């Protein structure tokens, strides 16, 4: 395995133009799992009329070498945002012939190329990369589901038996299987159950319900479809980083924007402060974040870590991205992000106080809170229509019912 990875970084603008943004270098420090990394904008990008800061907090448009501050990855966080988590990284490693080797995250970027979410593409040679984003056709999804199950059951399975899965690269994979799919002349993120899940339909149905309720409660969410594929439910989420056939928007997580890897000391109002600094419409975006906070609390969506919030850079500038991964949680009652200094036992008073810390008025905070509670009143019918199974969800439903009916009063 090469101890040093040199990559050219390209940006795809909303109109489809591809421009070299700069170069990154990641180098093994000689100790297992320790790396150093550097990035430098290209002069042509700094002079380009559509130039923008890849990370507005940590990579300003300057002609200098920026050093990565994470020695565990050797990458600036904005480049980590291009990579999937756990399951998806394993697929990329298999695709690139890295499985079993000691590889750096930068090696995965070289395999990913243009197959990730967001605007950035990566090549080892200085040549304009292919736009191919790793999407498979809908007709291949059943084969991918079957191969994903085989892989989860036997990680040493032969690559020939995973040819559909490796072809798409699983460039969006997280803790559970996800792949990019082309369907109905649109491109989607397809999410399906893991063979290790306690119920085969539980998490797809819960996310379908959570996203449906979030939309009804006033959040900006992508289009979703729950589709049965060979007797398995798959949730399709339309990609919001794509523009037309060839354009892309940048997608940068709040882990990157805050520079924080441990989210437990971060509050929703901290995220609001970032939005106020960079959004071209901070008033609307802060209120949307506050609305999402309330929805997360009421629906027990407690996986509210910093990678589940992002800002989108369009041709008009930075905006809060559409909400995603809103999944009522059967395991955990406490939020990850702080609400008025608390992870659990959150009351209506705490919600209003966090609204004030986010820059909203008391009256405005109460208005949004009451509006969300009222709009979620039909949650049980939405759960039923989403076919949320009774098994394993009794306690969850009790908690949601209590929070909504009592309006978070103690």
For the chain, 410 residues long, the average pLDDT of each consecutive 10-residue run is 90 96 92 90 98 98 96 95 84 80 88 90 86 73 79 64 59 66 90 81 95 98 93 92 93 97 97 99 99 99 97 97 97 97 98 98 98 98 96 95 91
Q: Give residue 133's pLDDT.
A: 65
In what helix (H) or strand (E) does residue 216 lie, and over which residues does it extend?
helix 202-216
Tell me what pLDDT residue 168 has.
62
Pairwise CA distance, residues 40 & 61, whole Å: 10
- The residues, any chain, with a CB within 8 Å of residue 165's CB and separated by 6 or more, are 91, 144, 147, 148, 151, 179
> What token pair was written down for 296?
């997360």
Angle at 241 between CA 239 and CA 247, to 5 degrees: 115
Name which of 306, 327, 298, 181 is nearest 242 in CA terms: 181
SS3 content of the chain, % helix, strand, coil (to 5): 35, 20, 45
Report pTM. Answer: 0.94
Quote the tokens at residue 4: 């040093």
DSSP string, 58-127: TB-S-SSEEEPS-TTT-S-HHHHTTS--HHHHHHHHHHTT-TTS---HHHHHHHHTT-SSSSEEEESSSS
Can you tell me whether residue 10 is helix, strand or coil?
strand
Instruction: Say what the pLDDT of residue 170 is.
Output: 46
Count how many Cα atoms sit within 13 Å of the Cα of residue 188 in the half-sphere of its side chain: 22
Instruction: Count the Cβ atoms, other than its own, within 10 Å of residue 22.
Output: 21
Give me the phi and psi of 248, to 5 degrees please: -140, 150
DSSP β-bridge partners for residue 6: 25
Whether the Cβ atoms of residue 22 and residue 45 lie closer than 8 Å to each other: yes
Domains in the chain with CATH codes? 4-123 (no CATH), 136-238 (3.30.200), 248-405 (1.10.1070.20)
pLDDT at site 160: 58
| pLDDT of the residue at 280 | 99
């Amino acid at each position: 395995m090469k101890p040093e990875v040199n990559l050219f970084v390209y940006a795809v603008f909303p109109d489809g133009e591809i421009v070299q943004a700069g170069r990154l270098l990641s180098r093994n420090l000689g100790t297992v799992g320790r790396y150093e990394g550097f990035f430098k904008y290209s002069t042509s990008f700094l002079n380009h009329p559509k130039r923008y800061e890849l990370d507005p907090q940590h990579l300003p448009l300057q002609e200098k070498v920026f050093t990565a501050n994470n020695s565990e990855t050797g990458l600036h966080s904005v480049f980590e945002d291009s990579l999937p988590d756990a399951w998806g990284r394993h697929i990329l490693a298999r695709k690139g012939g890295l499985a079993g080797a000691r590889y750096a995250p930068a090696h995965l970027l070289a395999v990913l190329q243009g197959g990730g979410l967001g605007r950035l593409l990566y090549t080892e040679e200085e040549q304009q990369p292919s736009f191919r984003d790793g999407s498979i056709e809908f007709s291949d999804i059943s084969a991918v589901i079957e191969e994903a199950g085989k892989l989860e059951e036997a990680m040493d399975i032969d690559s020939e038996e995973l040819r559909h899965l490796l072809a798409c690269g699983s460039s969006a994979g997280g803790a559970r299987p996800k792949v990019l799919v082309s369907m109905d002349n649109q491109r989607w993120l397809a999410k399906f159950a893991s063979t290790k899940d306690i119920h085969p339909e539980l998490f797809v149905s819960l996310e379908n319900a959570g996203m449906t309720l979030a939309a009804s409660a006033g959040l900006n969410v992508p289009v979703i479809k729950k589709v049965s594929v060979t007797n398995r439910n798959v949730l399709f989420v339309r990609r919001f980083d794509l523009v037309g056939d060839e354009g892309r928007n940048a997608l940068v997580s709040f882990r990157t924007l805050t520079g924080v890897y441990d989210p437990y000391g971060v509050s929703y109002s901290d995220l609001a402060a970032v939005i106020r600094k960079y959004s071209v419409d901070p008033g609307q975006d802060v209120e949307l974040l506050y609305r999402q906070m309330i929805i997360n609390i009421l629906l027990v969506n407690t996986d509210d870590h910093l990678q589940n919030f992002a800002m989108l850079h369009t041709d008009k500038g930075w905006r809060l991205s559409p909400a995603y991964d809103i999944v009522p949680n059967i395991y955990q009652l406490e939020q990850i992000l702080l609400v008025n200094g608390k992870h659990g036992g959150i009351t209506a008073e705490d919600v209003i106080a966090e609204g004030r810390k986010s820059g909203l008025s008391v009256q405005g905070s109460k208005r949004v809170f009451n509006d969300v509670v009222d709009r979620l009143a039909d949650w049980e019918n939405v759960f039923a229509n989403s076919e949320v199974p009774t098994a394993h969800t009794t306690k969850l439903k009790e908690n949601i019912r209590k929070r909504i009916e009592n309006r978070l009063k103690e």
